[in-house]
Structure 1
């Protein structure tokens, strides 16, 4: 495999592993005579190999101003390796007042303007992911609010897939680690890309803003800069928040993003309660 990679890079003099990352059995920066290259790879028999093939599919269609360039790939000896342009930068700070936020907003707008190479409907994937979840009781370690309001959350979450249809490119995993700030913001790790409504990525980012310290109303106000989010039906966003809560609470019960999406869901449902009361 090293010989196959060096056919693209030339001799490799040093290999360094990053401080963070997941879902790849190999993630390294190679030092070569022509400059550094970032490589990620997986054994082809791994259940996660499909994620790397997703990146292989979308990589050639992502503009240079949005994502690191996919330079080459090799598949040999039961490995799939992808070689990317190496960029020096830092992961995004999404906290209130961060100077990274304008660059992040520009990147999200560039995603919505992208042209997906094929249709991968998020609505279908979301329906399949929710099907089993909605028929199960809340997990044993669910938050007390989620247990008390389980029926209401399920009712809202069940409506989410019908609102996700669209033909826009969706990253679907926008979190601080998947933005690389290099003056502008580049978006990395496209393993979960889909096609759907253009408001979905701003909605994902709203959760991450809340997790980083924004109030729910402030996070929503920030996301209003995206026309698709501003124009989305309020009930569509509420159902999406509830569906995220339902799925994340079972898988990542105590993480800050799950706490954030619960906070957002409560905020959205309080809005509807006040509306119905009036």
Structure 2
């Protein structure tokens, strides 16, 4: 699933000239390590010390549309993400130029000082409503992984969701920044905390510990536990499919975390029941999300 990077020396001169027209004369270029979404990922150092992070795909790449998606959503996420400075289509490439944030990738390990920093950024994101754009909908993205289509109603909502909390997508600097907005989604607010919790489990947290972090978001505190359990099972099925198609070490780790979390929820709450309440109502048999007393 890792996309092979193209190095700066191997780019067409026409593309280099187009980049210089955006950034100013290029002094030197720093490559960014391997990733999952970009064929080009570099930091351009220009005159007077200015720096721009540039990511891009060839226009004929299957994922080229994600460049346009990320450019479209960026004005709405300045509170949690680096600002987009410019877009460029030249020499068969689609590029995005962002303000360059000097930071490091987030550490999700138990006890990491990054965890409260990421949580604070997640709480900021939770306050952003989904803009009036043709976003993917959570109830559509997970539609193939539930037993009862009626369960998808619990995934619907009007929150803006990032949905990809791989630590490679979280920069830690003066604060946390959420990057790689390739899959922005409209849905229930508690879905992002749930997706972050899965990565915490993959990083060594127990399901209970991961849920306690998620519980510090108000959306999780309001969510029916049965809705969370349904989503955890659906996400387990999704990651089982991903790992079967791409059996990399990291996908195997995530599907193992998803399996452990699914078993934990089933043992704690039992199998998902058809009387799981719809909307904001809570069933006496299905309390709000675990650790809800920690929510704001």
Scaled by the length of structure 1, the TM-score of the pair is: 0.84
Q: How far did 1:175 drift?
A: 2.0
Q: How far did 1:221 drift?
A: 1.5
Which deviations, in whole Å up to 9, do the C-alpha atoms of 1:161-193 show, x marking residues without a partner?
A: 221111111000012111100031111111111
**Equivalent residue for 1:272?**
269
1:217 aligns with 2:232: no
Distance 1:100 1:159, change over 3 A: farther
The 5-angstrom pairing of residues 111-190 of structure 1 reads 111-119=125-133, 120-127=135-142, 130=144, 155=147, 160-190=151-181
**Equivalent residue for 1:139?**
none
Gaps of 5+ in 2: 1-14, 245-250, 274-284, 286-296
Question: RMSD of the TM alignment (CA)?
Answer: 2.1
Q: What secondary structure is seen at the aligned counterpart in 1 of 2:32?
A: coil
Among residues 59, 78, 84, which one is paired with 1:44 in the alignment?
59
1:2 aligns with 2:16: yes
Q: How far did 1:273 drift?
A: 2.6
Gaps of 5+ in 1: 135-153
Q: What secondary structure is seen at the aligned counterpart in 1 of 2:157?
A: coil
Q: Which has the higher contact order (CA 8 A, sep 6+)?
A: 1
**Equivalent residue for 2:248?**
none
Paired with 1:221 and 1:103, the residues of 2 have a C-alpha distance of: 15
Distance 1:57 1:251, change over 3 A: same
**Equivalent residue for 1:87?**
101
Distance 1:93 1:159, change over 3 A: farther
Count of aligned positions: 252
Q: What secondary structure is seen at the aligned counterpart in 2 of 1:252?
A: helix
**Equivalent residue for 1:12?**
26
1:53 aligns with 2:68: yes
Paired with 2:169 and 2:235, the residues of 1 have a C-alpha distance of: 19
Scaled by the length of structure 2, the TM-score of the pair is: 0.79
Q: What secondary structure is seen at the aligned counterpart in 2 of 1:201?
A: helix
